[in-house]
Structure 1
Amino acid sequence: MTGFKALVLAGSRGGVDPVATYAGVAHKALIRLDGETLLARVVTAVRAAGASEVAVISSHPEVRAEIARLGAVALEEAAGPSLSVERAAQQLGTPLLVTTADHALLEPAWIQRFISETPGDADVAVLVAKRNTVEAAAPSTKRTWLKLADGHWSGCNLFWLANDRALGILDLWKRVEAERKRPWRMAWILGPRMLLRFITRQLALRAAAQRLGEVAGVRAAIVVTPYGLASVDVDKPADLDLVREIVGRTQTDL
């Protein structure tokens, strides 16, 4: 698919970013990998996948200078990621691909396959990878796994908002974000029956997605990628070492 718009999240969480400090830069998005900033690598990938317009959320002055250099649209951060995405989606319109500036290894083929495999009746879709797929591609990676009845899963920082109805999921995201310090309240949003299934490891991934969609009033879809590296982002210094190793190994193999 071509002609969609893309949104890249490059906001700041507040405080010192250990990855940026480790790399000696002012912001994680400005880390250089194989001669390019992480932000440049992501913007290049989404454009190559067919994005007609790319916007980046960041209020950091140096990141905004890089956004301008890349010819992307700079959008200001709002009070929290969910509100930032909601405002951006209202401004940009749909369909909209959402990803993050630290998706250092992002490839156009991953995006194209994700979009093509999203069901036509889905309002919103999320890309995930199974643990064995991720560990086969990057054995040393340390991820946070979502442990469910049908396996261990990792998100891939790729989201598809197919139409304006998808904005309902952002309202749910804001509710979850507000309860981030009370995990039991976050889980309770799914309802007591689903919470019990989760606790007893009887909840499967697609059932959870379906329930989240019902709560948000949208049709939600899960797309499973065969690309294990799609789940590798740069969240901590060890992740940066890993992606540098992977890119260096790829260059050696050429």
Structure 2
Amino acid sequence: MLTMMSTPNHTGVKISGDYFDLDELNQAFYKVIGKEDQYHGYEGSRRRILGISYEIRHAAQGDRNVEFVFNGLHEHTMKQHKFIAPDKNIYFSAEILWPELIYAAIALKDFVGLYQKRVSQSIWDIHLPVIYRFQSLVLDCLQGHIPDAEYETILKGFNQPVTVDDYAIQYVDLMNLKYIGMTKEQREKSLSTIALKLAVQDNEYQAFRKQVLAAATPGKKQIHEIEVSAEYPEDFEW
């Protein structure tokens, strides 16, 4: 079963599951976000989700964290059925920065709409429930770490019909870097603010987007192709 838990220093979220849980999520990502340049204006958001997919894929390959999780098999069950088997399953996991994960959950709303409009309108589609569960797990994990009143505000923002079409995805980098640079206590206090900023695209974001567009115009680049000057630290505590 796919699970999410905030990391010890609240820097991000640990996404855990067995191989099949993680592979199922990856397959759903690939299907819903489409192929490169399939959805004009969404390539930047697509690449960000692929970044999360990359970590999940490597986790499933055993390249990140490996742990043993109790699988519900008790000693009396083994005696009853006369067999001996491990009472733990192998789970794999990877950490994703909080702002990155929140943005992915928001962006997937648009991709789900595009997928339903252009690819599959079937109510029996096997990939959409996986995406919905992923989004729900992000929100559920978020709810566990912020006050109820602030969560309700974020949930209202999340439910607004705000699109990430032509989104300045560099803003996610800005939020990530800000968040990494905080102390644990600062992250605990700022998580709801950052989540709301990503959900509602406030004045700060609009001003940032204008700056990015100004940088994109001279070379006629697409907005997602403009690189940020700041670099991520090679190592930080999760």
Normalising by structure 1, we get a TM-score of 0.30
Of structures 1 and 2, the one with the larger relative CO (CA 8 A, separation 6+) is: 2
More strand by share: 1
More helix by share: 2
